[in-house]
Amino acid sequence: MISIIAFTILFLSGTLYFIYNISKVRANILLGRDDNRSDNKKERLRTMILVAFGQKKMFNRPIPALLHLFLYVAFVITQIELIEIVADGVSGNHRMFRNGLGGGYTFMVSFIEVLSVLAFVGTVFFLSRRNLLKLPRLNMKELAGWPKQDANLILVLEIILICFIFMMNGADEVLYNLGHSHYSSGIDGESSFNFLISSKLGPFLFGNLDVSTLHIIERIGWWGHILMVFTFLNYLPFSKHFHILLAFPVTYYSNLNKKGKFVNMDSVTNEVKLMLDPNSDPYAAQPESNSIQRFGAKDATDLTWKNLLDSYACTECGRCTSVCPANLTGKLLSPRKVMMDTRDRITEIGELKRKNGADYIDGKSLLGDYISEEEVWACTSCNACVQECPVNIDPLAILVDLRRFMVMEESKMPTELTGMLTNIENNGAPWQFSPSDRFNWAKED
């Protein structure tokens, strides 16, 4: 009974704390401007299945993609075992599903064990890439400090979780062989669970231990497993590994337009249309908007909710930065840092508003305090970062809005652009001569 009460308290408190943190993240995302992404539902669903579930874009780099697939599949499939653990914990039973599933249960747990071994291999590989091989894109300056610790911590937690799984199954296998397992209603004619790996690993590691010690090891594995699950679950909202959950909505709400198509502001577009319409009355009163929208973005709240969702879904893998031509030529821009800065800023704004009221302003902004003007203007708008991202995150959309604010509200731009824009305004072309003079070269002898 004490075990059931302890488990129920753990389950409820862990679940409620996770819901609380998720609600804070959701509130932060909704601080962004509205952006209608409700169109083309079939295409959006197809994109989500291919990119998030099928990990289509990961396989541009086959080896890490395959190892990542091991972790991903293990994470999804092991939730079946987690359902049984929760059922056992609430009811006080042990291996509740075995009698009903019979041989299917043995296959299911064996399959989970194989996936766990593959996930272990993948986790060790990813730890080695970061800390031994020191892959350049995983050791850039924006990852110094907490981001690097976060990546290593979650990988270590995964290894510990896998160890607990095999402690639980391995010790239980030996106990079952000895007739002392918590699972009392054995199947006739079986003296072993026959799990593919634990049936061999358990006797090898724990075969010489007494029954009381085996019970302790099995319980440590069982409780350790569920504790690690809830630790991992409640750590996600504070970690880059939040993409495990957010990859699905962020790919569903992907930008379905062709890359290179920029989003114009409706207010500006309507104004230009009125100017170009010979039948419009320039002095006629225009309908007023209920809210004044800033031209572009200065702070994180000026971005759309999709931009903010992107920032929370960023895996910090650095694939975007590794293909960015500006970064490759030594410029300050890193698309990964743009996403990390956006997430940090909107999280900061959300916490301040919850503590000090919705109207609180701290005097800081995303542009200037987090992302410098030099970074913004270094972007070539090539969309390489968008193309490379495994979950269709769009750093360019944020950079364009930051540039739009500087140009349209502060008249700030590099000297080279000032001359070009002046020429477009005066001559209708980027050059210092009018369109009528453009082909004068052809008249020369």
Within this chain, do residues 399 and 303 fall inside the same structural domain, yes or no?
yes
pLDDT value of residue 280: 73
Within this chain, do residues 133 and 166 fall inside the same structural domain, yes or no?
yes
| Residue 210: both structure tokens together | 């007494």
pLDDT (mean) for 268-296: 70
Cα separation of the two ends of the chain: 102
Within this chain, do residues 131 and 176 fall inside the same structural domain, yes or no?
yes
Among 268-272, 334-338, 370-374, which stretch is predicted with the lowest mean pLDDT?
A: 268-272
**Considering the chain, what is the average pLDDT of its residues?**
88
What is the CATH classification number for the domain harbouring 379? 1.10.1060
pLDDT value of residue 287: 59
Within this chain, do residues 299 and 247 fall inside the same structural domain, yes or no?
no
| Residue 8: both structure tokens together | 């129920």
- Residue 281's CB is within 10 A of a number of other CB atoms, namely 8
Q: What are the C-alpha distances in Å from 132 to residues 64, 209, 255?
A: 16, 37, 37
What does DSSP assign to residue 439? T
pLDDT (mean) for 82-87: 85
Q: Is 346 exposed, middle or buried (0-12, 13-18, 19+ CB in 10 A)?
A: buried
One-letter identity of residue 92:
G
Query: pTM for the complete prediction?
Result: 0.87
pLDDT band at 179 (very low <50, low <70, confident <90, very high): confident
Total domain count for the chain? 2
Residue pair 113/166 in contact (Cβ under 8 Å)? The answer is yes
| H or E element in which residue 35 lies | none
Within this chain, do residues 134 and 72 fall inside the same structural domain, yes or no?
yes
d(CA 411, CA 399): 16
Within this chain, do residues 26 and 155 fall inside the same structural domain, yes or no?
yes
pLDDT value of residue 191: 59
pLDDT for 76 beyond 90: no
Q: Is residue 423 part of a domain?
A: no
Within this chain, do residues 263 and 234 fall inside the same structural domain, yes or no?
no
| Domain limits for position 167 | 2-30+61-252
Within this chain, do residues 106 and 230 fall inside the same structural domain, yes or no?
yes
Q: Is residue 427 part of a domain?
A: no
Give residues with Cβ within 8 angstroms of 18, minimum separation 6.
230, 233, 234, 236, 237
At residue 219's C-alpha, the angle toward residues 215 and 225, to 5°, is: 150
Within this chain, do residues 245 and 262 fall inside the same structural domain, yes or no?
no
Q: What are the C-alpha distances in Å from 368 to residues 373, 376, 413?
A: 7, 10, 14
Within this chain, do residues 345 and 224 fall inside the same structural domain, yes or no?
no
d(CA 15, CA 25): 16
| H or E element in which residue 420 lies | helix 415-427
Within this chain, do residues 236 and 309 fall inside the same structural domain, yes or no?
no
Of 430 and 137, more confident: 137
Q: Is residue 283 part of a domain?
A: no
Within this chain, do residues 214 and 263 fall inside the same structural domain, yes or no?
no
pLDDT value of residue 14: 92
